Amino acid sequence: MKPIILDVDTGIDDALAIAYALNSPELEVIGLTTCFGNGPIEYTTRNTLVVLEKLGKTVPVYAGADKPIKRGLKKFPTHVHGEDGLGNKFDKAPAREAESEGAVDYIIRQVKKRPNEITIIAVGPLTNLALAVKKEPEIASLVKEVVIMGGAVFTAGNVTPYSEANVITDPEAADCVFSSGLPVTIVGLDVTMKTLLPKEKLADWSALNTEVADFFADMTRFYMQSYETFHPGIGGCALHDPLAVGITIDPSFVKKEKWNIKVVLEGEEIGRTVAHSEGEPKIQVCTQVEAETFLNHFLSRIF
């Protein structure tokens, strides 16, 4: 089993990624760290605990960054994830609370404790990881791998024509991580927009007639309705965050190219992830995906 820290800003596709990871025997999810992003940190932390409770899983949760490194908070994407971040399906507070230790210190402690063993899957803004590297630069050489859902390297963005949501939410954090020397694999819109979960599959979930399946089906239905607004006729939603989990389990789901990545920090193209070949390329960028193979794998693990 691969020891995993899953760094989330729990909205709907984060919830799907959490379920996928926790139901995959190849992964040992040792902790979940939370960040602002799809909602304020209080919501994303609470939502993470709610999802764990629905799944019947007990994994420690560590609350992290509540704002970007240098910028102010922007409006949260309630039109995509709902007012509560869970498709407006939040019903009661979770029984458990987050740990007292913060996410940044937890990441540093675990990486030092288990050098070259831990994979970090980061599917929200990269603020926690950037703060960890800034606090303890040595961890960049001690992490086994960092798999990031973020960026749009050779395709258009989903917030602006240039930028993807996780990167533009804290572009300085993303730029810090990409230039830190961490062994990064970018799972960006180049591949995630090709991983469509068809809306017909939600009927299969509902037919299971369990509380957890109903919760996920209702939540994902809200997410698909937002997709229909942006992409009329799409008939489903992309599995952004789950794909980052998927390639950690089975790297053959994607093809990669090595590049270096800079993040545009000013002007109209702010948040753009730019591939360049100055120096030795160190970042793995996913460029192609076996979408159907991945989808079937995801569906076989979700519950």
First vs last Cα of the chain: how many Å apart? Answer: 19
* DSSP designation for 155: S
Confirm if 189 and 155 have CB atoms less than 8 A apart. Answer: yes
**Which of 192, 118, 86, 117 lies closest to 149, judged by CA?**
192
Does 79 qualify as catalytic in the annotation?
Answer: no
267 in the Ramachandran plot: left (φ > 0), alpha (ψ -120 to 50) or beta?
Answer: left
Catalytic pick among 79, 231, 240, 297? 240
The residue length of the chain stands at 303
Confirm if 206 and 190 have CB atoms less than 8 A apart. Answer: no
User: Which residues are CB-contacts of 151 (< 8 A; sequence separation ≥ 6)?
Assistant: 164, 166, 167, 174, 186, 188, 189, 261, 273
Identity at 140, one-letter amino acid code: A
d(CA 163, CA 161): 6
User: Which residues are CB-contacts of 49 (< 8 A; sequence separation ≥ 6)?
Assistant: 61, 94, 96, 97, 98
Q: Strand 196-198 to strand 119-122: parallel, antiparallel, or no bridges (unpaired)?
A: unpaired
**Which residues are known catalytic residues?**
240
